[in-house]
Structures are given as structure tokens and as C-alpha cells.
Structure 1
Amino acid sequence: MVGRDPGVTWVYGLVDMQSFYASVEAASRPEFAGHRREDDDKTDPLLIVAGDPERRSGIVLAATPPAKAAGLSTAMNLGEALRMCPKAVVVKPRMRLYLETSARIHYTIRQMFPLHEPFSVDEAFFALPYPSALFPDPIAASRRLKETIWDLFRIRCRVGLAPNKWMAKMANRAAKKEPSGVVWWTEKDVSSRLHSLSVYEMWGLKRRAEILDREFGATTIGDVAAIPEWRLRRRFGVWGTIIHRWSHGLDDSPIDPNAFAAPNKGFSHRITLPRDFSEREDIAVVTLELLDEVCARLRSVRQKGRRVGLSLTYARFEGGFSRTKTLGRAFNAAEDFYPHVIQLLDRWWDGSGVRAVSVGVDLLEPESDTMQLSLFKDVAKRRRLSEVYDQVRARFGETSIMRAASLLPAGQLRDRSQKIGGHFM
């Protein structure tokens, strides 16, 4: 992990690829590539990346600027998107291509800015000393990065520069509205630019922004900055201090080149369903499949977990719940977690149609070679069974051995086995 040298002024940057999946598709297809220009995103095709075009199912994962200008947006139901814009070109996601392109882009950024931290598949932080012989002009360096990514990958990007990572994220949002695609905020911009933004534009808050608006009357980030820290801590706990610092443009997070190599604090798996599921039994089948996946990953790193969670997202991706239950002991077998997940389902599900399901396990601890015996279960036999199960699947694939429940109409395992990250390869 890399921190700050107190004797050097550092400028932090966040580079974000524009409409990444859709841009990769437009750049890789000859019928579109020749018409696109870096300085004019209107030259992109009217294209969206979404679920299954043949069945008109799934959601919009990405859209080119012309598609967004036509009213299409991510998370929109594909059928609704096509009714709104029937001329849109719809392509299936190709996750292998996106991940390979992402890895090459991150390598390119690292070559230009050695102090680099991958943040997501299409975002990265970097930092540079200023002023310095290598980086005499941060804006010029950022523009060179933009030009290099376009020249190599035909993907547009935006860069936000600031005194720290959180401010760089906020500056990046402003850069999306700037023709040059580069914005540099300094400490002087906290009061003049940051504080005038809506509280809902404050990155990282999620639902806390609504609480700040409703309970504190804070409609802007400047309003949040005026709230005493003790009041924020009383309402949000340790998050109160984080919110207070962010509202003043402060963030001590260092650049971590090994961020993706950090040990897991938990494991989870999420699936977007091809249609709304309204039957408890169908949701239970999907939940069990996800638990099997999560537990297999736990066993692969010889860990167990004491807390299990279930999240449901309702129809049209509106509403839902996310609840957890902490157990008295740690487990890594689906059979041990499943009854507790079903309890969460029965207690919190309101009967609405379900479009996405997520299952997670955390509060991890190392798996011991010793085992807790039981009068009612053959623990040693179950462990051996799990080992064989994992070995067969590792050698012959996910569908080489599966539960009978996965053969039911609600089962998603066979379909998911053809995808990467929930999307077709």
C-alpha cells in the first residue's frame, strides 16, 4: 500500500471509461468503428448491450451516447427500451472481451502513471507528484492519457483531478460535462464548486443522502458541511465522521496498487432473473444455487463464515430488501446456511415479483482441520462429500454435478454456466 510523502504535493486522478461495454462493442465492430470520432460522441451507433436480444429479456447493461440521448438508460428492461427506441441495435454482452480490454487499459494507465490503483472494470485511480520534471502539467498528462486510450482502444474516457481520491471522483463527474473531458479541482474549489452540488451527487452516500435531506434538511453538500460532526456521528456512527470529512473535501485514502489482491472479507453471488419470480419455491431454488456457489468459493480458500445474508430486488428493479443473520458457529456448506436464508425470505419478502437475488456470507474465519462433531449428522462424511463435489465441478464444469432442484423450471445453474460475471462470454 502506497501512502503520501509529506514533502511532496500529490495530485490524484480518477479515469473513467465512457459507456464501457457499449464502447467496446462499437469499437470492435467494423460497421461502426470507421465512423466514430473521439471529439464527437454523436458519431457512435445507436447501440445497447443487453440480456438476450432474441428473447427480448434482461436489462440494458450499457448504452452509447446516442442511445442515452434517445432516452435509454442502464437497468431499463430490454422490452421497454425497444418499445421506446425500436431502431436501437441490441447486442449480447461479451464479458470475456470486456475483461480482456479492461486488463489492457489498466496496463496502459499503469505504464503512464506507475502509482495506479484499479477501482473497477472501467475505472482507475492514479497519483502524480506536482510539480515535477516528469509531470510538469497534470492536465496535459491527463489529456495524453485520454488520447492514448482512444488511439489504442477507440474508447473515450474522462479524468477528474483533485487533492485526494474522493475529490477526484467528484471532479470526474464534473469532467463528464466538460468538452475537454478533464477537470482539475483544488482545495479552493471545495466552497465554490463542491459545496454547491446536490447532496444526492455526493459520491458514496447511497441511501444516506436521502436521510441527510429528510432528517437534516441538507439539500447541498455545503449544507452537510455545516452540520456538526457529533450530530452526524449520533445518526450514522463512524460513517458520520466520513461524511463530515467528505463534505469538507477531505480524504486520506492512499493509492493501493494491490487493491484487487486484498483478502476477501466475505463472498457473495448475485443473479438477475430472466423474468419476475413470484413463487416462493422458485425463489428458494435460485437461493440454494447461489448458496452452493458461495460455499464452494469459501471452501476453495479454506474459510468459513458466521453471517449469511439475503437480498431481493423487486420487479422493475424497484424496492426489495437486504437482511443478514449471524449464526453461533461458522460454516461453509450450503445445507447449514439454507434454513436461515429461508427464514429471512419468509420474514422479509412481501410477495412482490422478484427480479434479482443475492446471497452472501461474511464474518469469515479459517477452516480448521478439526471438526465439530454432531449426534445427528455424520460431519466427516459430509466434509468428504463436499470435497468430492468440489473436485468434480473443478474438473468437469459447474453442471457436471448439480442438485435435482436445478432441473426445475426455476433453476438457473445451466444457463449461468455459459456466462462470465452473470453475462454471456
Structure 2
Amino acid sequence: MQRVILLADCQSFYASVEKAAHPEYKDRPVVVAGDPARRSGIILAACPIAKQYGVTTAERLGEALGKCPELIVVRPRMQTYIDVSIQITGIYESFTDLVEPFSIDEQFLDVTGSLSYFGSAEEIARQIQHKIQVETNVWTRVGIGPNKMLAKMATDIWAKKNGSGIFTLDEEGLELLWEQPVQKMYGVGSRMAAHFARMNIHTIGDIAKLPLAELKRRMRVRFGKNSDIQAELYWQTARGIDPSPVRPRTLFDDQQALGHQMTLPRDYGRKEDIDVILLELSEEVGRRCRAKGYMGRVVSAGARGADYERGTGFYRQTTLPDPTNITKEIYESARRLFHLHWDGQPVRRIGVTLSGLCSDSEYQLTLFDNKEKTRRLERVTDAINSRFGRTALLRASSKLDSAQAHERSAKIGGHYK
């Protein structure tokens, strides 16, 4: 039996949630954006009315206000968006237990086993749209296909643009897909589209109709011998091939790494200021590892330069003698690694990652350090911060001007809750 997969996408999700919370904004252009005074002042979501003025996601707030001076700018409330997303997931799960989050506003649903209960795929899509609209006032577009890839492209290329917000793309409709410009294919951005144009590939059909060996040859000429896997992925996408199942993501037993990155409010060029951030990042990585019962053997640290246009920066890793989740050990390794490779130029983003994960249920005892005492102390600290808030206990360095822990405690994913 052929699978029936839906990709449900919430239109202008953050902006739609804000409009639902503020009925007075119903007929006005609304955007959700970060703090204009900081570098994070970009458009995270724009409602359809704002988009009519040419406002786009990811552009700077100042540019958007230039296009639409009457724009209503709402600061993001990430916890609210997460809560609404979870509520919408509950609606999806009332139709099928096979629901896989793709992002906060997009989810795959396998409704193959639900057709006999709720009707055709189109009928299920309409029921989902109605239920979400009534409960959250968010409009949802739904792409339908025999696999995740075709459902995704059905949503992005057609369902987002038609009146019903529903579109079905199956193997019989591949000719329709093949007529589309190559930049509309999932996974192809403007830069890759330009590379394809130089290979005389202009439509999705141009990829699909090429023999795989020929596509690999052309990509090897342009990108080198390691491009075969990418070539096969593009070829399968163009042909609508995707055997991956819809997997409910409730377990993370296969987690390979835990990391944390921070975009800074200004350029950091002093060693002592960077050390404060590295310690805060190491604290967060250690806390998350301890909460999940992991230790890691490989510490990575790096930064992105202040000049985003040039793409400067580095990311390096080192292997520890023994796995750890102790903040001090993570920090000391990250700090040593960072300053070994940092060229002294100002940085705007810093990251620390712990990988090579294993269970923390067993570990090597040492003669010279009382690591068990340190572990107990950190578990108590974690418990206090979990109960009373992430700033209940802070290191003294987090009170310095360069510190960000207190500011970020009020945020989720770098945005205000």
C-alpha cells in the first residue's frame, strides 16, 4: 500500500500567533523581530499583509520599516510559540500517531492508516486546517505526497500559494514538478542554483532526466571527487524518491553531541571577555550533558568573526584523556583550544561542543582529583537552578559587563520567552 504523507506548515507562524493574541492587529502589517538595538534586530516572521509591502523574513528591521513605515513590530515570545506549536502537535496526533516535527511550524504526518477513519488525504487536510484555525487562529497549508520529499515540495511550491492551502503531488504529477526552476527544488539555494546554471541545468526536470552517472561527473568537475553523495541526493529529490519513514521524535538515544553557541551583542576582542563567554558556554554544555546522563570525550570550540560578509572564523576540537561532563574540565579544554587558534581579531559568535558521548553511569576514578565531590556539587547546583531559575546560582564572572548568562536566562534560542 502506498504511503500517504502530509507536510503541514503554519503560515507566518510567529506573526500569526501574535495576531491571534492581538485582534486589533487583524488588518495591519505585523512582523516579529528581535531587539532593533542589537544585531539580532532582523525579521523572524512577517504576516501576509506585511509581505505585500515587500517585507521579507531575515531582512534587517530598518530595511523593513523603510518599505512599510506603519509596520507593527512585536518582540518575539519564544515560549508562547513553543506552547502553541505543542498544542498544534496535539491536533495532528488526534489524526495519527506518526507525527514528526520538521521545525517549530512544520510537521510531517503519515496518515496512511487513518484514511479509513477520517476520509481521503484532502479531507484530513481540511479537517486539520479547520481544527487549527478554530483553536489557535493560525492558518495551515498542507502538502500531500507518497513520501516526505514530495509532500514538502507540494507545500512549498503550490500549497503556500493557492487559495485552499492544499496540494497533492504524487508520481503521476512529476512532470509538473519537472517544469519548475531548479531553485524551487528542496535543498537548492540561490548559490547552488547558480552552479547548476553553469552546468546547463535550469529546471528540476533537467536533473531528473540526466543519468545519475552524468550528474555525478558534472558535479565532480565543479566541486571535486567528494560530491557524489550530494549529486545522488539531488537526483533522488528531483525524481521524487525518498524512502525515509515519518518518525515521531520522542527519544534521543542516538544523540552524538551537545553544544551551545552564542551570538554576542557586540564585537569581543579582549581575551578576558572571551574567557567569560567560554565559561558560560561550558557551564551550559555541562549542565545539559548532566541532565541527559552523558559525558563526552571530544571538546570543540570556535568562533565566527565580526565581519559576517567575509565568513571568517574557526572551529577546532581536541580529545580528552577521559570523558567528562564537569564544567571546569570542559572550560579548560575549550579555553586552551580557543586561544591556540584565535588570531586575535574581534569575534561575534562563540561556540563550545562536547561530542564522543557516552553514559555517565560509569567513569574512571583518579588518585589526584576528587571528581566525585565535584560531580555531586554540580548536580546540586543544577537542581537549585532547575527549581528556582537558571540565575538562582551564578558564577561571579557572570556579573561582569562582558557576561551574557543573566541576559540570556530570559531567552529561548537567543530570543525572549
- TM bucket, shorter chain: 0.7 to 0.9
Counterpart check, 1:28 vs 2:21 = yes
Unaligned segments of structure 2, at least 5 residues: none
Query: How far did residue 326 of structure 1 move?
Result: 4.4
Counterpart check, 1:365 vs 2:358 = yes
User: Deviation string for 1:302-336 (max 9, x for gaps)?
Assistant: 21112333454555865355634141442212332
Counterpart check, 1:323 vs 2:294 = no
Counterpart check, 1:262 vs 2:252 = yes
> Residue 331 of structure 2 corresponds to which residue in structure 1?
338
> Residue 169 of structure 2 corresponds to which residue in structure 1?
185
Separation (CA, whole Å) in 1 of partners of 2:230 and 2:179: 19
Q: Retained in 1: the 8 A contact 2:178–2:203?
A: no
Q: Retained in 1: the 8 A contact 2:95–2:114?
A: no
Describe the shift of the 1:284–1:320 C-alpha distance in structure 2 as closer, same or farther (beyond 3 A).
farther
> Residue 401 of structure 2 corresponds to which residue in structure 1?
409
Separation (CA, whole Å) in 2 of partners of 1:370 and 1:306: 12
Separation (CA, whole Å) in 2 of partners of 1:117 and 1:72: 30
Separation (CA, whole Å) in 1 of partners of 2:106 and 2:268: 33
The letter of the residue matching 2:397 is: A
Q: Retained in 2: the 8 A contact 1:272–1:355?
A: yes
User: Deviation string for 1:150-193 (max 9, x for gaps)?
Assistant: 22211112111111001211111012222321121111333431
Query: How far did residue 18 of structure 1 move?
Result: 0.9
The letter of the residue matching 2:33 is: A
Separation (CA, whole Å) in 2 of partners of 1:405 and 1:248: 55
Q: Retained in 1: the 8 A contact 2:132–2:139?
A: yes
> Residue 5 of structure 1 corresponds to which residue in structure 2?
none
Q: Retained in 1: the 8 A contact 2:36–2:42?
A: no
Query: How far did residue 88 of structure 1 move?
Result: 1.5
The letter of the residue matching 1:413 is: A
Separation (CA, whole Å) in 2 of partners of 1:315 and 1:83: 25
Describe the shift of the 1:239–1:291 C-alpha distance in structure 2 as closer, same or farther (beyond 3 A).
farther
Separation (CA, whole Å) in 2 of partners of 1:217 and 1:282: 50
Describe the shift of the 1:146–1:423 C-alpha distance in structure 2 as closer, same or farther (beyond 3 A).
same
Q: Retained in 2: the 8 A contact 1:212–1:224?
A: no
Separation (CA, whole Å) in 2 of partners of 1:291 and 1:138: 47
Partner of residue 159 from structure 1, selected from 117, 129, 142: 142
Separation (CA, whole Å) in 1 of partners of 2:357 and 2:194: 31
After TM superposition, the structure 1 = structure 2 runs for residues 84-123 of structure 1, keeping only pairs within 5 Å, are 84-123=67-106
> Residue 19 of structure 1 corresponds to which residue in structure 2?
12
Describe the shift of the 1:54–1:238 C-alpha distance in structure 2 as closer, same or farther (beyond 3 A).
closer
Describe the shift of the 1:132–1:14 C-alpha distance in structure 2 as closer, same or farther (beyond 3 A).
closer
Separation (CA, whole Å) in 2 of partners of 1:301 and 1:69: 45
After TM superposition, the structure 1 = structure 2 runs for residues 168-183 of structure 1, keeping only pairs within 5 Å, are 168-174=151-157, 175-183=159-167
> Residue 421 of structure 1 corresponds to which residue in structure 2?
413
> Residue 279 of structure 2 corresponds to which residue in structure 1?
288
The letter of the residue matching 2:250 is: F
Separation (CA, whole Å) in 2 of partners of 1:220 and 1:310: 40
After TM superposition, the structure 1 = structure 2 runs for residues 134-283 of structure 1, keeping only pairs within 5 Å, are 134=117, 136-174=119-157, 175-194=159-178, 196-198=180-182, 200-204=183-187, 209=192, 213=196, 218-225=201-208, 226=210, 227-228=212-213, 234-236=225-227, 238-257=229-248, 259-263=249-253, 264-283=255-274
Describe the shift of the 1:372–1:69 C-alpha distance in structure 2 as closer, same or farther (beyond 3 A).
farther
Q: Retained in 2: the 8 A contact 1:118–1:260?
A: no
Q: Retained in 1: the 8 A contact 2:85–2:104?
A: yes
The letter of the residue matching 2:100 is: E
Q: Retained in 2: the 8 A contact 1:307–1:324?
A: no
Q: Retained in 2: the 8 A contact 1:58–1:273?
A: no
The letter of the residue matching 1:282 is: D
> Residue 393 of structure 1 corresponds to which residue in structure 2?
385
TM-score using structure 2 length: 0.83
Q: Describe the SS at the equivalent of 2:111.
A: strand
Query: How far did residue 366 of structure 1 move?
Result: 0.9
Q: Describe the SS at the equivalent of 1:255.
A: coil
More displaced stretch, 300-309 vs 318-327: 318-327
Describe the shift of the 1:105–1:370 C-alpha distance in structure 2 as closer, same or farther (beyond 3 A).
closer
Query: How far did residue 298 of structure 1 move?
Result: 0.4
TM-score using structure 1 length: 0.82
Separation (CA, whole Å) in 2 of partners of 1:390 and 1:151: 40
User: Deviation string for 1:356-379 (max 9, x for gaps)?
Assistant: 44332222111144424265x443
Partner of residue 59 from structure 2, selected from 53, 56, 76: 76
Q: Describe the SS at the equivalent of 1:323.
A: strand
Separation (CA, whole Å) in 1 of partners of 2:79 and 2:333: 35
Aligned alpha-carbon RMSD (Å): 3.4
Separation (CA, whole Å) in 2 of partners of 1:247 and 1:58: 36
> Residue 46 of structure 2 corresponds to which residue in structure 1?
63
Query: How far did residue 101 of structure 1 move?
Result: 1.1
Q: Describe the SS at the equivalent of 1:52.
A: coil
Unaligned segments of structure 1, at least 5 residues: 1-7, 36-42
Describe the shift of the 1:244–1:281 C-alpha distance in structure 2 as closer, same or farther (beyond 3 A).
farther
